[in-house]
């Protein structure tokens, strides 16, 4: 990199040859780039490429063992590396930082408003408490937090993830910083909420003339959010282009590989539609009018309120099917999983597994049924008993159901390990040494060992990165071919569902708003919410549906006091009066597709009997 001494006056930030190491292991080597005022630069790279270390270095927030081993960071001409005192004085004033963990960002024992005022008066001592309060409330409204006046006096635990992230953005911008470092701020959020935050970032950049360094791990999100994209690979800057140019002519091999790996929603590539589903045989699992509510003592208010987690769920799953259940957080997916597996009893409706009602089975009968359907959980680190060796984990199900003797059990365990690709030497060791991918393989092996006929995957792949997800999907196909498993995939990742599932149900606020085959859902969605989901999904392809015309501003209503009529009415651009009074039920749209929306034409024959293809026995 050429060493031009005097940085151009209008560049806000210029980094020259920055290197950072942890102990003696280099993390960043020779990073150099400039950032003009009011511009948005996104930094993209795989896990471990050093993105967050770069963010922290710029915010002069490196704590041991990380230390800067070389180079300069010029902020408005003054080198932050050489003058740490000046750098610290900038923190919170000129350079603001918003992290990826909004929930833990504020002191739980103080109101959000008080902490905003405290921060503002810390960086602007001359400002009076009253002015600070007014400015904070004005900013809360600017980031579209509903009833900001009331929210000002509420505590951090009363904020949802999305709202807290907005509050943290206010906290960053309240001191009118010149540079805002956003470190992976959308990662923990739902797709629709993340999309709104990105829209907000653009507005604020225009309104506050603040330059933004946007760190994130998914290329599509980066391209949507920024003017220029900088690609980081193993601690080095490998490329920097505008989003359109990057997608069209990726310069560096790594970027090309990154783009190729990205699954697509609409363009070609192998997807679940091609899977044949055996319709003639009886449905392996049928869910009819399932409902479940939990009693929760609302914070502060007197009395107990009921959260209707699952309101009205209907679908059938056929043998050999890869059935997908998609929805954002809070839509009732995990409550549904607990009902399907009989961990909890439904308040209404029933779950038929091979003709038998799981919800009403006696505990003893339920335990026997367990052998024929199994669950694979989400958190690779949390779902394995932490202290028993791998062999014992695999043999436990056999011991519970008293299958075979010790020798047979050991052989069975070894066989299953081989099948899922776990090396035999791991039999004795503890799971703590395994990678996330290996742990999920162990989970699948544990579920498989009882030779179930149905496997329910609760967000099994969401904790893994792209490449690992691909390998496991191949494994699932292989196992399905050999053992004839039927899968139910519960997930919030549309791209994975597109690639794997033959039929998909979309859930919103406890209801199945749409059930459709793969191709039909992605190319002709029957429900506005499905369309909104597709519009917000991060993808590099040319979008079929633009978020502006699919989704109104605002958060989903709370499941405690649900509005009458269709739950999506408050956020649906096409909603009309009937939507706000009557809750549409699922109705056929032809070609085995169903949707619960009045926009679909009224079918001529009676409602109920067409809901499912085959009358259940």
Partner 1 sequence: MFILRFLARRLGQGAIIIFLVSALIFTLLRVVPGDPVRLMVGGMAPDTLVEEIAAEMGLRDPIYVQFGRYMGKVLQGDLGESFVRPASGAAVGGASFDDATRGERAKVLDLIAETAPMTLQLAVLAMVFALMVGVPIGVWGGLYPGRLPDRLALYTSSLFVSLPNFWLGIVLALLLSVKLNLLPAIGYRGFSYTILPALVLAVEIAPFIIRTLTVSVAGVMGQTFIDIARVRGLSRNQIVFRHALKNSAVPLLNLLGVQFSMLLGGVLVIEFIFDYPGLGLLTINAVMQRDFPLIQGIAIVTAAVFVLINIAVDLLATAIDPRLDY
Partner 2 sequence: MTSTDLPLAMAVPETGRRVSTRIWQTAFASVEFKIGLAVFVVLLAAALLYPELSGIDPSKMNIRAKLTPPIFMGEGWSWAHPLGTDQLGRDMLARALVGLRYSLLIGVSTTVLMLLAGAMIGLFSGYFGGRTDTVLMRLTDAQLSIPMIILAITILGVSRPTIPSIILVLGLAGWPVYARVMRSTVMSERRKEYVRGAMVLGATDLRIMFTLLLPLVLPPMAFVAVLDIARMMIFESVLGFLGLGVQPPTPTFGNVIADGRKYLMNAWWIATMPGVFLVLTLTSINLMGAALERARNSIYGGA
Q: Which residues here bind partner 1, judged by CB under 8 A?
A: 59, 61, 91-93, 97, 99, 101, 104-110, 118-119, 122-123, 155, 157, 171, 175, 297, 299-300, 302
Q: What are the angstrom distances between the C-alpha of 510 and each of 136, 310, 459?
A: 35, 4, 17
Best CA proximity match to 55, nearest among 36, 37, 38, 35: 35
> Tokens for 201?
């970032």
x/- map, 54-93, partner 2, by CB under 8 A: ---------xxxx---------------------------
Q: How far is CA 17 from the centre of its chain?
A: 35
Q: How far is the CB of 134 from partner 2 (least distance, A)?
A: 34
User: What's the CA gap between 98 and 213, in Å, rounded?
Assistant: 10
* Residue 385 in the binding site for partner 2 (CB under 8 A): yes
Q: Which of 17, 382, 590, 603 is the binder for partner 2 (CB under 8 A)?
A: 382
Candidates 11, 101, 158, 462; binder of partner 2 (CB under 8 A) is 101
User: Which residues, including other chains, have CB under 8 Å from residue 56's CB and lie 6 or more apart?
Assistant: 62, 66, 183
- Work out whether 28 is an interface residue with partner 2 (CB under 8 A): no
Residue 107's binding partner among partner 1, partner 2, none (Cβ under 5 to 8 angstroms by kind) is partner 1
Give residues 340-369 in contact with partner 2 (rule: CB under 8 A): 341, 343, 367-368
Characterise 136 by phi-psi region: left (phi > 0), alpha (psi -120 to 50), beta (else): alpha
Q: Which residues contact 411 (CB under 8 A, 6 or more apart)?
A: none
CA of residue 292 relative to chain centroid, distance:
24
Q: 512-515: long-range contacts at Cβ-Cβ below 8 A with a sequence spacing of 24 or more?
A: 512/312, 512/313, 512/314, 512/315, 512/586, 512/596, 513/568, 513/595, 513/596, 513/597, 514/586, 514/593, 514/594, 514/595, 514/596, 515/314, 515/315, 515/586, 515/593, 515/594
Three-class HEC string of 459-478: CCCCCCCHHHHHHHHHHHHH
**CA distance linking residue 482 with residue 418, whole number of Å:** 14
443 binds partner 2 (CB under 8 A): yes
CA atoms of 617 and 355, how far apart (whole Å):
7
Which residue lies nearer to partner 1 by CB, 168 or 231?
168
Among residues 152, 155, 127, which one has the least CA distance to residue 138?
152
Nearest CB to partner 2, comparing residues 52 and 518: 52
Question: Considering the complex, what minimum distance in angstroms separates the CB of residue 195 from partner 1?
Answer: 25
- Residue 106 interacts, among partner 1, partner 2, none and using kind-specific CB cut-offs from 5 to 8 Å, with partner 1
Q: How far is the CB of 296 from partner 2 (least distance, A)?
A: 15
415 contact partners, CB below 8 Å, separation of at least 6 = none
Tell me: does residue 7 bind partner 2 (CB under 8 A). no
Closest approach of Cβ 7 to partner 1, in Å?
Answer: 24
State the residue for tokens 């006046």. 149
DSSP assigned state of 206 = H
The nearer residue to partner 2, 378 or 535, going by C-beta atoms, is 378
Distance of closest approach, residue 229 Cβ to partner 2, in angstroms: 18
DSSP-assigned beta bridge partners for residue 183: 215
Under rule CB under 8 A, residue 48 binds partner 2: yes
Among partner 1, partner 2, none, partner that 27 touches (CB below 5 to 8 angstroms by kind): partner 2
CA triple 345-349-354, angle to 5 deg: 80
CA angle 480, 482, 488 (to 5 degrees): 15
What span, in angstroms and rounded, lies between the C-alpha atoms of 308 and 557? 12
Residue 471 site contact among partner 1, partner 2, none (CB < 5 to 8 Å, cut-off depends on kind): none
61 interacts with, out of partner 1, partner 2, none, CB within 5 to 8 A per kind = partner 1
Cα atoms in the 13 Å half-sphere on the side-chain side of 422: 29
110 vs 400 by CB, closer to partner 1: 110
* CB nearer partner 2, residue 307 or residue 572: 307
Beta strand 348-353 with 356-357 is antiparallel
**Binding region for partner 2 (CB under 8 A) out of 19-27, 77-85, 135-143, 259-267:** 19-27
Give the nearer residue to partner 2 in terms of CB position, either 63 or 301.
63
Nearer to partner 1, 101 or 334 (CB): 101
Measured from the CB atom, is 111 or 583 closer to partner 1? 111
Residue 387 touching partner 2 (CB under 8 A): yes
Check residue 433 for interaction with partner 2 (CB under 8 A). Answer: yes
Judged by beta carbon, residue 104 or residue 606, the one nearer partner 1 is 104
What's the DSSP call for residue 74? E
Contacted entry of partner 2, partner 1, none for residue 379, CB cut-off 5 to 8 Å set by kind: partner 2
Name which of partner 2, partner 1, none residue 383 binds, using a CB cut-off of 5 to 8 Å depending on partner kind.
partner 2
Q: Tell me whether residue 325 or residue 504 sits nearer to partner 2 (CB atom).
A: 325
Number of residues that bind partner 2 (CB under 8 A): 48
Name the site residues for partner 2 (rule: CB under 8 A). Answer: 22, 25, 27, 47-48, 52-53, 63-66, 99-101, 183-184, 187-188, 217, 341, 343, 367-368, 370-371, 374-375, 377-379, 382-387, 396-397, 400-401, 429-430, 432-433, 443, 446, 450, 465
């Amino acid at each position: 990199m050429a060493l031009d001494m005097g940085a151009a006056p209008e560049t806000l930030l210029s980094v020259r040859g920055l290197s950072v190491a942890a102990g003696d292991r280099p993390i960043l080597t020779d990073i150099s780039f400039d950032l003009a005022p009011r511009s948005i630069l996104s930094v993209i790279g795989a896990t471990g490429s050093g993105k967050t270390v770069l963010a922290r270095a710029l915010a002069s927030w490196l704590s041991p063992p990380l230390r800067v081993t070389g180079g300069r960071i010029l902020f408005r001409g003054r080198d932050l590396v050489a003058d740490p005192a000046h750098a610290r004085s900038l923190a919170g004033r000129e350079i603001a930082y918003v992290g990826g963990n909004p929930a833990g960002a504020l002191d739980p024992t103080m109101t959000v408003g008080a902490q905003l005022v405290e921060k503002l008066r810390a960086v602007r001592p001359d400002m009076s408490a009253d002015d600070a309060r007014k400015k904070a409330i004005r900013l809360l409204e600017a980031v579209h937090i509903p009833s900001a006046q009331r929210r000002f006096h509420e505590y951090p635990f009363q904020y949802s993830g999305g709202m807290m992230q907005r509050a943290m953005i206010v906290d960053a911008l309240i001191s009118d910083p010149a540079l805002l470092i956003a470190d992976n701020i959308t990662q923990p959020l739902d797709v629709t909420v993340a999309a709104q935050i990105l829209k907000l970032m653009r507005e604020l950049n225009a309104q506050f003339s603040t330059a933004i360094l946007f760190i994130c791990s998914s290329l599509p999100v980066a391209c949507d959010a920024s003017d220029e994209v900088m690609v980081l690979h193993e601690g080095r800057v490998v490329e920097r282009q505008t989003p359109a140019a990057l997608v069209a002519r990726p310069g560096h091999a790594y970027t090309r590989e990154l783009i190729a790996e990205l699954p697509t929603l609409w363009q070609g590539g192998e997807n679940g539609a091609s899977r044949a589903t055996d319709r003639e045989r009886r449905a392996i699992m049928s869910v009819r009018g399932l409902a479940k509510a939990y009693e929760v003592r609302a914070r502060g208010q007197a009395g107990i309120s009921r959260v209707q987690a699952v309101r009205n769920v209907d679908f059938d799953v056929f043998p050999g099917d890869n059935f997908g259940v998609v929805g954002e957080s809070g839509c009732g997916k995990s409550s549904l999983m607990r009902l399907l597996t009989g961990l909890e009893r439904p308040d209404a409706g029933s779950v038929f597994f091979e003709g038998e009602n799981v919800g009403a089975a006696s505990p003893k009968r339920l335990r026997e049924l367990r052998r024929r359907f199994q669950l694979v959980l989400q958190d690779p680190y949390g779902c394995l008993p932490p202290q028993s060796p791998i062999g014992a984990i695999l043999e436990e199900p056999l011991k519970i159901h008293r299958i075979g003797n010790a020798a047979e059990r050991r052989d069975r365990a070894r066989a299953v390990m081989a099948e899922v690709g776990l090396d035999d030497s791991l039999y004795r060791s503890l799971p703590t040494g395994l990678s996330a991918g290996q742990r999920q393989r162990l989970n699948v092996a544990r579920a498989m060992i009882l030779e179930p006929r149905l496997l329910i995957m609760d967000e099994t792949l969401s904790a893994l990165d792209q490449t690992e997800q691909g390998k496991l999907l191949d494994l699932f196909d292989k196992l399905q071919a050999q053992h004839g498993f039927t899968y139910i995939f519960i997930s919030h990742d549309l791209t994975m569902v597109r690639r794997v599932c033959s039929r998909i149900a979309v859930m919103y606020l406890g209801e199945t708003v749409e059930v459709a085959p793969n191709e039909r859902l992605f190319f002709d969605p029957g429900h506005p919410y499905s369309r909104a989901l597709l519009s917000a999904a991060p993808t590099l392809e040319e979008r079929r549906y633009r978020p502006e015309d699919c989704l109104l501003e605002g958060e989903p209503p709370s499941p405690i006091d649900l509005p009458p009529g269709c739950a999506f009415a408050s956020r649906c651009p096409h909603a009309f009066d009937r939507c706000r009074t009557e809750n549409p039920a699922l109705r056929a749209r032809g070609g085995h597709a169903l949707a619960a929306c009045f926009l679909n034409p009224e079918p001529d024959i009676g409602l109920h009997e067409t809901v499912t293809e085959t009358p259940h026995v």
